[in-house]
A and B are shown apart, each in its own frame.
Chain A
Amino acid sequence: MPYRLGVDVGGTFTDLILVDEKSGSIHTAKVPSTPADSSIGVMNGVAKVCDNAGVDPSEIAQVMHGTTVATNTVLTGTGAKVGLVTTKGYRQVLQIARSYVPGGLGGWVIYNKSQPLAPLSCTIEADERMAADGSVVRKLNKGALTKELKKLKKESIEALTISLVNSYANPAHEKEVEKIAKQVLPGIPVSLSYDVVPEMQEYERTITTVANSYVRPKVAAYVKSLERKLKAKMKDVKLHILRSDGGMASAKVAQSLPVNLLMSGPAGGVSGAVWVAKQAGFENLLTFDMGGTSTDVALVQDSNAQLRRETTVGDVTVRASSVDVRTVGAGGGSIAHVPELTGALRVGPESAGAEPGPAAYNKGGDLPTVTDANVVLGYLPSEVRLGGDMEIRKDLAEKAIKPVADALGISVKRAAAGIIDIVNENMYGALRLVSVEQGFDPRDFALIGFGGAGPLHANALGKLMNSWPVIIPPGPGVLCAYGDATTRVRDEASRTFIRRFANISPAELTKTYQQLANKALKTLEKEGVPKAHRSVTYQADIRYSGQGLTLTVDFDLKKLKSKGLSIIGDPFDDMHRQLFTFALDADKEIVNVRAVAQGKSAEIDAKKVTGSGSRTPIAAAKIGTSKVFMDGKNMEANLYRRDQLKAGNKIDGPAIVLEMDSTTVILSGHTGNVDKFGNILIAPSA
């Protein structure tokens, strides 16, 4: 069974990549997505890619899939009706949340809080109490609980969360509640906060577990149906789902802990970018994924994406590890406007979305968007079209931007350039957040641009950040599928372990870590990862005793016994200095301990472009010119077809490179070099 399949479902296209595990050779396919039930598109794609490759589907052993089902369920508010069991006195834990009101002084005047993910009418209390040290203060009153659970039955809830105070220290009561709940509410999926995130902070633990319950029925139904369809064609196939942290989870684990999938989509993009860049020889990079309504950025060091212990989707923030992707609400559809009182130029956060879309697409939109600005400047040429593209109306784009130009008292072209400058500046802010503000120098990083609009803006961002080269990989959709196909099986086990360094014995700590490692390794065993391919890394969340936030330190467990806690403490001091300019001579404490187990990643080769630039000059790919407005001047840019580019071709800016689902801009004063994989590497001209 030598084949593995990576599948990415995007808004428009479903991309697939089939890998021969023995030879490392690959085949790709692109089919339209089927939003109502994306498994239909996936199966169409499977048929197509197998057909292309001349492979029988039954030869596929593994399918690896990034999905946005969990994300969309939260964003569209279409999750399950969740029941919640809290400790007595804490029924309103989600209603109160962290008492935070956004928006600065007076922000409350315009703040309307959304309803909690588990409605208060479906929240009940359990009369019980654990102390912070895990000892029982008050036993669970089972009779009273049963009565309360029966009320939930009447509310016809679809999923249940149990989250009790201090359960991170002792889950016994949560487990007792679960037992009773299963009797009273048979068939209702139950999530325990201890299982989902056994860490301190009652609100965060509760919302995370409730979010898990909220997306669980939808995700489970989707994964189950996809698995069934795949198995009908591929018999013993193993389906894996990409987690927010870039690891892979089995279909079964994904169904019970879907809260770990909320960033599955963006994680696929980052993983793919990491892989593509690595092939091209770059291991430190900033990823820049710009779509229609938002842009995701992340920082990758030594081919590892930075992770963070938090995932935000819409206005829900949960405690689940995810690739540290920062999202700004700016994309091709963002609308520009000039508020009357200040006369300032603002772009977003309102977006024209896909409907009615930018004015230039002539689908009923008439507000000026970033895409319209790109059309006016000639970066999205209206003169030339590739197959499947929609018509672009420059006249409508100009008409839409005119009011902005008039309000600012400048020409339409200059206003368009201003819109692009402002939106680039917003994204520059996000890129700084993951780099400069974390103590990284962006000059040490390459910048990789993808997503529908990423290649249009990436060169400009490279210029602002001084990050070179700017890498534009071929085919933005395939990138995510690559990411899916090349990630590894991963699981982590963690627990809260609050103790000052002075009170920790290295031997005891080592034992704790070994227990966690065994727990995480068990998942890999279940996934059938051979022993030789399993590896474990150890992490500690550290702070100076009394601080609020922690920093995560990776360390070598073998050295802990011999060298003591300094192997955790010293790197922490260094990180603190790098981030905050100072270290403290204060007690340190461990807050959480974690073991991360991973399988080996697949060895596959990227597809190479055929032909060589030394034999086929760049002129062969030229399909025309476009009038552009750049650096405050009118210029003429050459237009090229991406699929005609050969390795070794040099493209001098100003130039525009067209392919079916994206357009690349190379600015004047810059040159794009095409490498053997078809990536365009842009840098200032020598």
Chain B
Amino acid sequence: MPATIVETNTKKFKRKDIDPITLDIIENAMMNARYEMDAVVFRTAMSPGIREQNDMFPMIANLEGKMVVGQFGSFIHGFKEAYDGTIEEGDLFLTTDPYACNGAISHINDWLLLRPIFKDGRLIAYAAMFGHMTDVGGKVPGSLPTDAREIFEEGIRVPPLKIFKNDELQTDVLNLILHNSRMPTWNRSDFNALVAAMRTAEKRVIEMAERFGDDEYYSALDELLARNKRAMGKLIKDTVPTKKQYFEDYICDDGLGMGPYRIKCSMWRDKDKVIFDFEGTDPQSISSINFYLNEEMFKMFCGVYMIMVFDPQIMFNDGFYDLMEVHIPEGTLLKPREPAALSCRTHALGRIFDVLGGLLGQGDPDFLAGAGFSDSPHFMYSGYDKNGEWYQLYSIGFGGIPGKPSGDGPDGHSLWPSFTNVPNEFLESYFPLRIEAYETITDSGGAGYNRGGNGLRMGYCFLEPGTISIHDDRWLTYPWGVNGGLPGRRSEKILKRTDGSEEMMPSKCDRITVNAGDILYFNTWGGGGCGDPLKRETERVEFDVRAGLVSVEGAKRYGVVMNADHTVDEKKTKALRAKMAKQRGKVKMFDRGGDIAELKKRCKKETGLDAPRQPEFQAWALKFLEEQPKPKGRIKMARG
């Protein structure tokens, strides 16, 4: 049964005409409210993940549940469909179960809070926010077990429930949940911060309705959605070809020694609508790399990406959702069936953006950027210190932003919105750690007319015995380059023990024991290059060499020959560029550094790690995929 909304005032909102100026003012006020939500959480949360890295995302939706401002799109429709209960004034919902909210959140570390906002007894809007909790129990510290086979191993799963009823906190319920966390204090404080953000949003929504009138506010939100739909409609028509485009990319391994896993998507336009079809994506994994991808969320990814690439003036919201159709076959990596493990979905989540970039860019190569949304490496370190106190660190690493038509990709930066690094002096004063190196890796960015950003090298020296976890990818496949740009360098992790021995660490592992004095060098990916490196102005290459971002040897990838004093030898450069251009021939649209078979063959030699085995899929999943009905649009296109 879908949820029942209980209102003490049943008067319907009236649709009114809103003049364009008032509309702009309301849009502006909504944006401000959204940023204020961020600010409140940022200032009061405790875990470094939320506080320093801003791993949380706010939203305000209209009373039908469509997102008007926010980041990751609305899930409220799905939630209402699945929730068998009432939605009343004073309720505040909590859920951490991706399977119970249609994938609005995609692993149970993310706590999702939803607040229906009532004014004078009528539902007028929703506020929602989710944030990543450092630990929610389960089999390993950090609750992201790389080898989990079921969601039950990944911590406490909270179905949608009212954590506030009548504006009263259900203390018993919260205590029960927090009892399962290794970091209950952080978790409680982060929860409080999210609640404070909901209250801020509510205050602002009610102020706005009072200022402009309830009917006007209601109508304005509708009109903002409609305005976005009109703008996106034009954009889709201008930029998405009717001819079918394909793109595929890979997750290198599953933490169990199998891989790579394919994510495949095709895209075409049918009149006003753009259709995305993930047919051909690999079946779900038996481990935890599955990514429960909500279709609406994918639409938001696309919309935002298109806006950023083609016209950043457009304010995005849910308004354009009718213009997109997304088909994700059930039983695949992107729509696993319950109770598949989900905790390590970060790799597929990142890869979706590379797929999207490749897919949208093919239609219009002038807008194509390199790969680099390639990864979101996690590092975890925990144990008991000298005084017997538990310490637990969860942090997200950054790497090279891809080269893009507008310029070079920054070195060692975040592709995720609003994330920042944790200051090393903070780490050193709160954790038994010393960060011996924090620098970008020379030559790791893919060469291109616009250079891919360099990856980051972080040297963690452990000062207490403990255990670490690593979550990483793009160690086998390359962050590809585009339009002649070369791929960026792959990631690698090296554990250097006090006895001098060095070990290449696999990209996904848990409970690795470390001792005081051991150093982990965590090297992240470099961004793919964009455009022909042989056409990069020699001054720009010289600048990078002098800065130490590109080496003298590395400059040769641009066909640039450097003198001993780090100036360019123009004559030799001209000759080398001519030679390289001839050898290379026509530039490739995508340079993946070799196909999967080649990469696997060279794997041991190049990475020091064994090549992953061919994935084994569960027989039922294969069968299930086979028997599923195909979407209408796809069949029609296949015929035509």
Contact = CB atoms under 8 A, between A and B. Distances in A.
Interface of A: 89-93, 95-96, 98-101, 103-113, 119-121, 129, 131-132, 137, 165-166, 168, 200-204, 339, 341-346, 408, 410, 417-418, 421-422, 425-426, 429, 432, 437, 498, 544, 546-549, 576, 579-582, 584, 586
Given A100-B418, A202-B425, A584-B192, A437 B39 contact: yes
B315 interface: yes
Contacts of A101: 401, 410, 413-415, 417
Contact of A120 (B406, B420, B548): B548
What are the nearest 10 A-B pairs in CB distance?
A106-B308, A120-B547, A548-B51, A89-B437, A546-B46, A418-B21, A132-B428, A341-B231, A132-B429, A112-B407
Contacts of A429: 28-29, 32
Contacts of B48: 548
A547 B45 contact: yes
B436 interface: yes
B44 interface: yes
A106 B438 contact: no
Nearest to A202: B425
A675 to B, nearest CB: 31
A581 B196 contact: yes
Interface residues of B, number: 89
B377 interface: no
B308 A109 contact: yes
Given A108-B415, A131-B434, A200-B425, 11 more contacts: A99-B413, A104-B71, A131-B428, A165-B425, A421-B25, A425-B24, A437-B39, A546-B189, A547-B43, A548-B52, A580-B44
A109 B309 contact: yes
B417 A547 contact: no
B51 A547 contact: yes
A92 B24 CA distance: 42
A273 to B, nearest CB: 25
A580 B311 contact: no
Given A168-B425, A422-B25, A137 B413 contact: no
A134 to B, nearest CB: 11
Interface stretch (B88-96, B299-307, B598-606): B299-307
Contact of A547 (B46, B227, B419): B46
Interface string B411-455: 111111111110111101100001111111000000000000000
A164 B421 CA distance: 18
Given A98-B420, A101-B414, A580-B44, A110 B312 contact: yes
A107 B235 contact: no
B24 A344 contact: yes
B409 interface: yes
Contacts of A165: 424-425
Contacts of B312: 103, 110
B7 interface: no
A498 B417 CA distance: 30
Nearest to B27: A344
B425 A89 contact: no
B417 A104 contact: yes
Contacts of B39: 437
B546 interface: yes
A487 B52 CA distance: 37
B108 interface: no
A66 B578 CA distance: 58
Contacts of A421: 21, 25
A471 B116 CA distance: 41
A168 B413 CA distance: 26
B398 to A, nearest CB: 5
23 contacts: A92-B438, A95-B412, A96-B411, A96-B440, A99-B413, A99-B419, A106-B417, A109-B305, A111-B410, A120-B547, A131-B428, A339-B311, A341-B314, A342-B313, A342-B315, A343-B230, A344-B20, A346-B313, A421-B25, A547-B46, A548-B51, A580-B40, A582-B196
B369 to A, nearest CB: 6
Contacts of A90: 438-439
B199 A201 contact: no
Interface of B: 20-21, 23-25, 27-29, 32, 36, 39-40, 42-48, 51-52, 71-72, 185-186, 189, 192-193, 195-196, 199-200, 227-228, 230-231, 234-235, 301, 304-305, 307-309, 311-315, 369, 398, 401-402, 404, 406-421, 423-426, 428-429, 434-440, 456, 459, 546-549
Nearest to A90: B438
Contacts of A95: 411-412, 440, 547, 549
A546 B185 contact: yes
Contacts of B548: 91, 120-121
Contact of A426 (B28, B227, B235, B313): B28
Contact of A132 (B228, B401, B425, B549): B425
B308 A110 contact: yes
A201 B425 contact: yes
A89 B417 contact: no
Contacts of A422: 21, 24-25, 28
Contacts of A342: 227-228, 230-231, 313-315
B71 A92 contact: no
A344 B23 contact: yes
Contact of A100 (B420, B434, B546): B420
Contacts of A425: 24-25, 28-29
B292 to A, nearest CB: 19
Contacts of A168: 425
Contacts of A200: 423, 425-426, 429
Nearest to B23: A344
A89 B426 CA distance: 17
A99 to B, nearest CB: 4
Nearest to A551: B43
A429 B47 CA distance: 30
Contacts of A92: 411-412, 438-440
A417 B22 CA distance: 12
A96 B412 contact: yes
B45 A100 contact: no
Nearest to A119: B547
B531 to A, nearest CB: 15
B20 to A, nearest CB: 6
B304 A549 contact: no
B300 to A, nearest CB: 8
Contacts of A548: 42-43, 45-46, 48, 51-52
A339 B28 CA distance: 16
B308 A99 contact: no
A109 B406 contact: yes
A432 B31 CA distance: 13
Given A106-B308, A108-B404, A100 B419 contact: yes
A166 B231 contact: no
